[in-house]
Amino acid sequence: MIVALHFAANLVTHDAGGRVVSAVDGAPAVELRLRNVVWPPPSQNRPSLVLYVHTPDQPNRAVSYSWADPAAKLIGINLRWVQGSCTRGTR
């Protein structure tokens, strides 16, 4: 069995649908998208900070996603084959 491990840090994106791509030989390519979702009225859904996982073969459909309070400083996801987290900061 071949296991490819990859760690990428300090990738910068924004919470308006920004995406970061991680592609390394031997590891599955993955794209993380961050979005601060505000639902239009009359929706009863609460605003959410959402972290989506995309693959190159389906760039417009998320494989999975997680969400947090819009004021959260950290959001993460672990799907076993990929895990990621975004820490909010300013640059």
- Residue-wise pLDDT for 62-73, tens only, equals 999 999 999 999
Question: Between these two residues, 68 and 7, which has the higher pLDDT value?
Answer: 68
Report the half-sphere exposure of 12 (CA within 13 A, side-chain side): 3
Angle CA 58–61–65, to nearest 5: 120
**Local structure of residue 36 (DSSP, 8 states):** E
Task: Please state, in angstroms and as integers, the Cα–Cα distance from residue 53 to each residue in 11, 25, 41, 42, following that order.
Answer: 15, 19, 27, 28
Neighbours of 86 (CB within 10 A): 21
Share of the chain above pLDDT 70, in %: 77
Question: Which residue type does 69 have?
Answer: D
> pTM score, two decimals?
0.79
Positive/negative CA dihedral, 42, 18, 91, 85: positive
